[in-house]
């Protein structure tokens, strides 16, 4: 299969390119090499064709799609962002870029898309109240967060809640700019599929980590931020009380999920979302301690600070990924974190 990988020089995209090449696919990469993600020019698999260009550029996208059978759309501005001045950048790279790509795919008759989506589209994960059953908590109040009350209460009775895995049919509830643009990508791709009869698998990545994560950038994931701190000789600074539950999934497993999505033949004319996680939820504090131990210290510091737009708990239900794609994560948490403590980061 001839596959275009947008963002194929990035963290996840570069591992996907390697996996595609290793399994015999013909690969073309389109990447804008944005300074926020690349402090230096990255190495790209020599067996892949590399095109420097932005997905917002119609001519660059048209050239990249020539002769292509399927697209893995990884290109995006990622992370929670610094402040609302980032809003135009997220909207341009994630929203407009996806629209330009989809329009070009429609013109050229390319009908298979694997979209890199994210767990952030859900907002909070699943929660169950002992009295009221499955519930969806609202946004946490600044007064509660300032007082160290980080757990969201039941929106009906105020009782404590238990975290449960989030399934793909959960309502979408984006709570920051990045999340809003990932929802927009899914909606645009769904509209494209309806209009063209194309197929979309939207892989909702959970907390991806592994080699080639970018170093020292506020737009990186928490694992990269902690690892960068350790390399500077500083303790990882854990926000809230460290009890936030997440699903940390190794980038090699994410690449495998993309390969499985490309092999899957979905019904035409629609979008199917699929969680991509590890099936092993851990707290952010657990992850910081595991990484610091493997690195050799210093040990984490719990700060009590918080970021507006962060959610408390979100862990993946992996049932659909297993049943639909035959995907199950292969890298255990302890093994993956031990390796990540020494894996090379990207400048």
Residues marked active site are found at 178
Query: Helices 333-340 & 284-295, crossing angle to 10 degrees?
Result: 50
| CB environment 98-112: b (16+ within 10 A), e (fewer) | bbbbbebbeeeebbb
Residue 309 CB-half CA count within 13 A: 15
- Among the residues of the chain, which ranges form H helices? 11-22, 58-64, 87-90, 97-108, 142-146, 177-196, 222-231, 251-263, 284-295, 319-320, 333-340
CA distance linking residue 16 with residue 61, whole number of Å: 19
**What DSSP letter does each residue of 187-203 carry, written as one string?**
HHHHHHHHHH--EEEEE
| Secondary structure of residue 122 in the 3-state scheme | helix
CA distance linking residue 75 with residue 242, whole number of Å: 30
Please list the helix, strand and coil fractions of the chain in percent, rounded to the nearest 5, in that order: 35, 20, 45
Rg (CA), the chain: 20
- Whether the CB-CB separation of 192 and 99 falls below 8 Å is answered with no
| Secondary structure of residue 35 in the 3-state scheme | coil
């Amino acid at each position: 299969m001839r596959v275009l990988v947008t963002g194929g020089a990035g963290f996840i995209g570069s591992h996907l390119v390697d996996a595609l090449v290793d399994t015999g696919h013909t690969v073309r990469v389109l990447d804008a090499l944005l300074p926020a993600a690349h402090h230096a020019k990255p190495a790209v698999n020599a067996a892949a064709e590399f095109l420097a260009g932005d997905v917002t550029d119609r001519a660059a996208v048209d050239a990249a799609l020539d002769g292509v059978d399927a697209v893995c759309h990884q290109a995006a501005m990622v992370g929670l962002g610094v402040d609302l001045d980032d809003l135009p950048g997220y909207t341009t790279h994630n929203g407009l870029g996806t629209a330009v790509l989809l329009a070009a795919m429609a013109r050229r008759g390319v009908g298979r898309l694997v979209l890199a989506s994210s767990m952030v589209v859900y907002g909070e994960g699943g929660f169950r109240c002992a009295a009221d059953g499955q519930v969806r908590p609202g946004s946490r109040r600044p007064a509660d967060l300032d007082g160290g009350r980080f757990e969201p209460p039941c929106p009906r009775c105020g009782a404590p809640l238990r975290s449960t895995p989030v399934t793909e049919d959960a309502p979408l509830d984006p709570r920051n700019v990045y999340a809003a643009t990932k929802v927009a990508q899914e909606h645009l791709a769904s509209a494209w599929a309806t209009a063209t009869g194309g197929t979309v698998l939207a892989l909702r990545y959970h907390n991806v980590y592994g080699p080639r994560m970018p170093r020292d950038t506020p737009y990186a994931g928490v694992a990269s931020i902690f690892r960068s701190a350790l390399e500077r000789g500083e303790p990882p600074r854990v926000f809230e009380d460290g009890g936030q539950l997440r699903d940390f999934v190794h980038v090699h497993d994410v690449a495998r999920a993309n390969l499985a999505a490309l092999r899957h033949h979905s019904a035409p004319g629609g979008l199917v979302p699929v969680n991509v996680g590890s099936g092993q939820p851990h707290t952010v504090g657990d992850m910081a301690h595991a990484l610091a131990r493997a690195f050799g210290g210093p040990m984490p510091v719990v700060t009590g600070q918080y970021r507006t737009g962060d959610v408390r708990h979100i862990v993946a239900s992996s049932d659909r990924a297993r049943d639909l794609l035959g995907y199950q994560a292969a890298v255990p948490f302890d093994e993956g974190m031990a390796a990540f403590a020494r894996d090379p980061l990207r400048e």
